[in-house]
Structure 1
Amino acid sequence: MNRAQLLDEAARTAKAVPQPAPGTGREEDEVLAAYGVQRELVQLRLDRGDRLAGVKLGFTSEGKRRQMGVHDLILGQVTEGMAVADGADIDISGFIHPRVEPEVVYLLGRRIATVADALAPDAVVAVAPGIEIIDSRYENFRFSLADVVADNTSAAGFAVGPWQPYDPGAWNRGVVFELDGRAVHVGSTAAILGDPRRAVVEAARLAAAVGVELEPGWLLLAGAATPAEPLVPGSHVRTEIQGLGSVSFTARPAAEVAA
């Protein structure tokens, strides 16, 4: 079983795999090779009938990079099968050690193949509050930069709130991240790259480097505005972003969801 198949099986069986031994080459070369593993991993999902829904950036806040012990941005892919309906009860028994974090989500209005495309006026046509579920397939949620890239940046699920017209001038918005009705983090979208508008350019840069073109109608999960929190059965998760509204879901054990 190759590395992509091993990570795919870990996700399907909810059984973590050991972190690979540290690489001996240059980190840049290892990360580039890891994007190849990521492509294979995502293709396995597509071969089972899933469809691409967009891309996500990881480690866009300094706090998140410190939390996970890495130092650079990464790009992952999200699929329609990962989508969670706003307000839904969801089964989390299929995850290994899920965590949740608040996101700014952009709706892309054009094909983006270059950084110049990302700067076009119609690159983003709408924006929404979001919640991402991340779930590393490695034991203890520990990994190197190349390891997490290979694991499709721990992408596991996402919920998107109501779409609002995109106003590029309104980028510094307050964020409240709640668990069970209690605000666990209060922050700002400015935590995302210092200015979340940069996310489109960074996504274009990373995508071009690994041979991916961003498609019109795709989502771009621009990055977390706060550190992630563990997701446990019974948790009600809610994100509210100033001027954009809110998005939420409740984690349930499988038996309760079925009932």
Structure 2
Amino acid sequence: MTSSQITENRGWHASVAARLDQAETSGIAIEQFNDALTLDGAYSVQRELLSVRRKRGEQLSGAKLGFTSKAKMEQMGVDEVISGFLTDRMLIPPGTELSLSRLVHPRIEPEIAFRFKREIHPGTSYEEILENIDAVAPAVEIIDSRYRNFSFSLSDVVADNTSACRYALGEWVEFSKNLAGRAVTMLVDGTIVETGTTSAILSDPMLAIEAFARMNQKYGTSLPAGAVLLAGAATAAIPLEPSTEITAIVAGLGTVEIKISGDLA
């Protein structure tokens, strides 16, 4: 059986999803799949992963984009973003400490989040999606590749749900299209570790909505009312360490904070 035939086999996609899910729940990294997966096959694995999570009682809470910086696109040799899903159990509630226990390569990056006031279906037009956005917030995303050495191909990272792990949100504010060029600062225990601007997100976070519309039409699933879209990183991601406090500030939008517990057991 050729690799292309393998990637069309849903049973194999389900087995890949099971291996990735086990890596995530155990915190033990696995080998990369590389050329054994096509890009379409990787998105099929993603759908299987979502099915596994739903069977555990998790609910779909949003979508996320990856590779929204030109540098990362060039590094991976692509000209389109990638997309993944979020669930309610990935959300870090305010005031809750995040344990790094069973995480593999946790890193954090500051982002912008959009909120949808109505359900979004695959194939929903960009114009309709735009009309359904009612709020925007500062956000952070914890990414955590389940592959050894934090190394992966394009199809690997897509199958691994674009390394999605956790996310936290600041206060929602009224949606505005004026989101480019806003200063972004990330601090660890009060010390600035990364600075950038929201223009790092496809040159304008509004373009992330267009990219989401394209990806949702091709690979998406229906998102419930109240779902969020993480638009992509505004600075480089930094590794997480125990017993620290992370603060991300987006000028004109607000602040989001999370605490990392000292528990590694």
In 1, Cα distance between the equivalents of 2:19 and 2:255? 36
Match of 1:98 among 101, 106, 109: 106
**Are the equivalent residues in 1 in contact too, given 2:242–2:262 (CA < 8 A)?**
yes
Secondary structure at the aligned position of 1:237 is classed as strand
> Which residue type is aligned with residue 46 of structure 2?
Q
> Which residue type is aligned with residue 32 of structure 1?
D
* Structure 1 position 156 matched with structure 2 position 169: no
Which residue of 1 is the match for residue 45 of structure 2? 37
> Which residue type is aligned with residue 234 of structure 1?
S
> Which residue type is aligned with residue 244 of structure 1?
L
In 1, Cα distance between the equivalents of 2:77 and 2:167? 22
In 1, Cα distance between the equivalents of 2:33 and 2:244? 32
Residue 86 (structure 1) shift: 3.0
Which residue of 2 is the match for residue 139 of structure 1? 148
CA deviations 1:35-78 (Å, max 9, x no partner) are 00011012111100111100000010124446x64534100001
> Which residue type is aligned with residue 23 of structure 2?
A
> Which residue type is aligned with residue 95 of structure 1?
L
* Structure 1 position 88 matched with structure 2 position 107: no
CA deviations 1:86-132 (Å, max 9, x no partner) are 34322111211100000100001233346763224522110000010
Which residue of 1 is the match for residue 87 of structure 2? 79
* Structure 1 position 240 matched with structure 2 position 249: yes
In 1, Cα distance between the equivalents of 2:181 and 2:57? 38
Residue 211 (structure 1) shift: 4.6
Residue 173 (structure 1) shift: 1.3
Aligned length: 250
Which residue of 1 is the match for residue 228 of structure 2? 219
Residue 218 (structure 1) shift: 0.7
CA deviations 1:205-230 (Å, max 9, x no partner) are 11111252344311000000011100
For residues 1-40 of structure 1, the aligned pairs below 5 Å read 2-23=15-36, 30-40=38-48
**Are the equivalent residues in 1 in contact too, given 2:122–2:218 (CA < 8 A)?**
no
Alignment gaps of 5+ in structure 1: 24-28
Structure 1 residues 124 and 21: CA distance shift in structure 2, 3 A: closer
Residue 195 (structure 1) shift: 0.7
Alignment gaps of 5+ in structure 2: 1-13
Tell me the TM-score normalised to structure 1 length: 0.90
For residues 175-254 of structure 1, the aligned pairs below 5 Å read 175-254=184-263
Secondary structure at the aligned position of 1:84 is classed as coil
Secondary structure at the aligned position of 1:33 is classed as helix
In 1, Cα distance between the equivalents of 2:33 and 2:77? 16
Tell me the TM-score normalised to structure 2 length: 0.88
Secondary structure at the aligned position of 1:4 is classed as helix
Structure 1 residues 110 and 117: CA distance shift in structure 2, 3 A: farther
Structure 1 residues 101 and 243: CA distance shift in structure 2, 3 A: same
For residues 48-127 of structure 1, the aligned pairs below 5 Å read 48-65=56-73, 69=76, 71=78, 72-113=80-121, 117-120=125-128, 121-127=130-136
In 2, Cα distance between the equivalents of 1:220 and 1:108? 8
CA deviations 1:120-179 (Å, max 9, x no partner) are 452211000001000000001110010100000000000000000001134331111112
**Are the equivalent residues in 2 in contact too, given 1:174–1:186 (CA < 8 A)?**
yes
Residue 187 (structure 1) shift: 1.0
Identity %: 40
Root-mean-square deviation (Å): 2.0
Structure 1 residues 173 and 81: CA distance shift in structure 2, 3 A: same
Secondary structure at the aligned position of 2:125 is classed as helix
Secondary structure at the aligned position of 1:10 is classed as helix
In 1, Cα distance between the equivalents of 2:111 and 2:220? 25
In 1, Cα distance between the equivalents of 2:71 and 2:196? 11
4+ residue runs over 6 A deviation: none
